[in-house]
Amino acid sequence: MAKKYLRISEVVDICGVDKEFVLRQEEERLIRPVSRRKQKLYPLDQVDRVRVARTLIKEMGVNLEGAEVALHMREQMIAMQRQFQRAMRSLLKGPRKI
């Protein structure tokens, strides 16, 4: 079973960043850790945000504010895609019988 939450050391390894990068993203509220058993952990969606932020900032030269905007737009696009997929599934099921 895949883990749902990761420690900061695991986030650092997976995303190829240093601990300070993750903590900075947290300070700027780009990511939100959770507390489990008195330990700070990062949900998988937040780990993905770190990975995307790293690409934007370190590889593409986007500043922190630009990364924040891009991450927000990305979340909106993902939500719209899910909504579209639900609508398509509903349409493909055909009309409901009353």
pLDDT of residue 20: 96
Domain ranges of the chain: 5-93
Mean pLDDT, each 10-residue run in order, the chain (98 residues):
89 96 94 93 96 95 94 95 95 76
State the pTM of this model: 0.80
pLDDT of residue 2: 74
The Cα–Cα gap between 14 and 28 comes to 21
pLDDT of residue 93: 87
Rg (CA), the chain: 17
pLDDT of residue 1: 62
pLDDT of residue 94: 73
pLDDT of residue 96: 66
- Cα end-to-end distance, the chain, whole Å: 41
CATH architecture for residues 5-93: Orthogonal Bundle (1.10)
Amino acid letter, 89: R
